[in-house]
Structure 1
Amino acid sequence: MSTDLPTSTDASLTPRVRLDLAYDGTRFHGWAAQPGTLTVQGMLEDALETLVGQRLSVTVAGRTDAGVHARHQVVHVDLPRSAWERLVRTPAADAGPERDGEQDRCTALVRRLNALLALAAAQWFRERGLACPKGVTDVLIHRAGVVSTDFDARFAATGRAYAYRVVPGGHRDPLRRHDVVWVDAALDVPLMAEAGRALLGEHDFLSYCRPREGATTSRTLTRLDVEEDPQGIITFRVEADAFCHSMVRSLVGALLEVGRGRRAPEWPAELLAAASRESAAPVAPPHGLTLERVDYPQAQEWAARVSQARRRRDEPCCGEAE
């Protein structure tokens, strides 16, 4: 993923800030904020509220379910100008007029948010009588950058990449228990890979989705690879323009049935063709799933991409990313 974030130089605008972050989803009830429930969005918005003094809402590239992790997630948030300027009262001497302290403020924002997230994590564990190493948090901001208002973390995205990890038989590592699913069976990797190739392309994935009212289940699946590493971990790498709810876990669930020998390799394609919730694919457990990457076009293409994605959402067949 690129480390260069295009910036906005219009100081008259309320700064729109892109945050690139990662999280361990083990103790969270998913991404989306819910009253009285620990969620990634809620924890992040709590930290922002403490920092800027008012409640702000973040927009995410793709919501994740309870127990699902993210190695690379993206959000944007519009910060009040006064709060933004307070992050660094005196820009660095070498900032120059073109920077006007912008990079210094981004650095300060990342540092302060991570400190607040670490304090919140420590408090959560302490309240339950559990130890938490100092400074450690399961939500971590990697970087921040000011972007134009053309950028939308959700609608400007052109693709998402997920990895789902399982280990068959007795190859179990307790240190990976939170992000690798243990399967009590041998798995046929070539057979699962063969079955996955038949699902590539643009299709109605109704049999692999939990549809939302008025939302399309049509998606373009660009990658579904199955590979095994020397440690015996089998990884399903899944990429698409967007995903509907539970789509990745359902794809993996179907392929696992093939890998176990319970279903023929043609079965996942037959499910796809049926496009029916009556014969829906089984859903694999959440903790094996990690959002690995979110893709965006060049800055000059953001507005067009957002417009295209919003039109699709507003059509009768519209939908949301997973």
Structure 2
Amino acid sequence: MRLALGVEYDGRAFTGWQTQPGGTGVQDALERALAEIADEPIGVMCAGRTDAGVHATAQVVHFDTKASRPLGAWVRGVNAHLPDSVAVTWAVPVADDFHARFSATGRRYRYLLLNRPVRPALQAGRAGWFHAPLDETAMVEAARLLVGEHDFSAFRAAECQAKSPVRHLREVCVQRRGNWISFDFEANAFLHHMIRNLVGALVYVGKGALDRDGFAELLARRDRRLSPPTFSPAGLYLCGVTYPDRWSLPDGGRIIAPVELPLS
């Protein structure tokens, strides 16, 4: 049988989602815990791989097993074998043709940024930080240029293995609440480091080192070498995966667990 799981995790303790020879990926921890319940080796597929230090509130995975267990065992039982930084939030049986990655039609990420002169302590590793004042209005105007289908080569990591740099960004939203700024991105899919590179460029706009026209030129030039540096992974969260209604997933197939802006 095939099962789908919702998973949340704090990425600080891991070398990213993907399995590693030393067993230090989130995938490794989850597969070990699932194997304890299934009493057999388990391999999982995820909706979107995250880098070292990146978090998730709504990762979706699927796996196949011969073991017959109550659904609660795939949640509470698996969680009993997971480190505190990882938790399964739900489990449902799915058809054999469901695929956590290829059945998904969209992903949503949020980047949380603390914008104040002093670095964070309580949110260290869970939020990005920038010390100088940022103009959120300028960042909002630049972010609007990203909506739609574009070649995002300017914001793609050199080691990105995607066959095409073209992605359809359905939504980009920049909001400020006190010292906190959130960047929300929803697209059909993302390139390697794409969001962190976009946040880095928008921060350059916010601090006045790049204007709207310069930002537009970066997008049009399609040259990563001309773009600002990649921003820290600390504030990045995978917080939503969209699936067609035909799949029997919670919330009608649209799994979104937003990361709220702290009050400050």
Same fold (TM over 0.5): yes
- Structure 1 gaps of 5+ residues are 1-14, 88-104, 122-136, 303-322
Name the SS for the 1:225 alignment partner: strand
Structure 2: distance between partners of 1:60 and 1:70: 12
* Aligned mate of 1:160, from 107, 115, 119: 107
Report if aligned partners of 1:206, 1:277 keep a CA contact under 8 Å in 2. yes
Q: Relative to total residues, which structure has the larger strand share, 1 or 2?
A: 2
SS at match of 2:63: strand
Alignment match, 1:125: none
Q: Which residue of 2 aligns with 1:79?
A: 65
- Write out the 4+ residue segments of structure 1 that deviate beyond 6 Å after TM superposition: none
Q: Contact (CA 8 Å) 2:62, 2:100: kept in 1 or not?
A: yes
Counterparts of 1:71 and 1:301, CA distance in 2? 20
Which deviates further from its counterpart, 187-196 or 277-286? 277-286
Q: Distance in 2 between matches of 1:107 and 1:260?
A: 49
Task: Tell whether the 8 Å contact from 1:169 to 1:182 is kept in structure 2 after alignment.
Answer: yes
- What is the match of residue 77 of structure 2? 112
Q: Which amino acid aligns with 1:78?
A: D
In structure 2, how many angstroms separate the alpha carbons of the residues matched to 1:264 and 1:56?
A: 50
Tell me how far 1:173 sits from its aligned partner: 4.5
Q: Using the TM superposition, give the Cα deviation of residue 214 of structure 1 relative to its aligned residue in structure 2, in angstroms.
A: 6.1
From 29, 41, 44, the equivalent of 2:15 is 29
> Residue type matched to 2:166 in 1?
S
**Residue 279 (1) aligns with residue 244 (2):** no
Contact preservation (8 Å) 1:23, 1:69: yes
SS at match of 1:108: helix
Q: Does 1:293 align with 2:240?
A: yes
Unmatched tracts of structure 2, length 5 or more: 250-264
Change (3 A) 1:164 1:300: closer
The 8 Å contact of residues 271 and 279 in structure 1, kept in 2 or not, is answered as yes
Matched, 1:221 2:169: yes
Q: Verify the 8 A CA contact 2:92 2:248 in the aligned structure 1.
A: no
Contact map agreement 1:250 1:284 (CA 8 A) in 2: yes
Percent identity over paired residues: 42
Deviations 1:3-55 (A, max 9, x none): xxxxxxxxxxxx11000010000111000001114110010011122222322
CA contact (8 A) 2:115 2:133 kept: yes
Q: Quick check: 1:170 aligned with 2:117?
A: yes
TM-score by length of 2: 0.89
1: distance between equivalents of 2:213 and 2:153?
17
Residue equivalent to 2:146: 199
| 1:132 aligned residue | none
Q: Which has the higher helix share?
A: 1
Following TM superposition, by how much is the alpha carbon of 1:282 offset from its aligned partner in structure 2, in angstroms?
2.2
Between the two proteins, the alignment pairs up a number of residues equal to 248
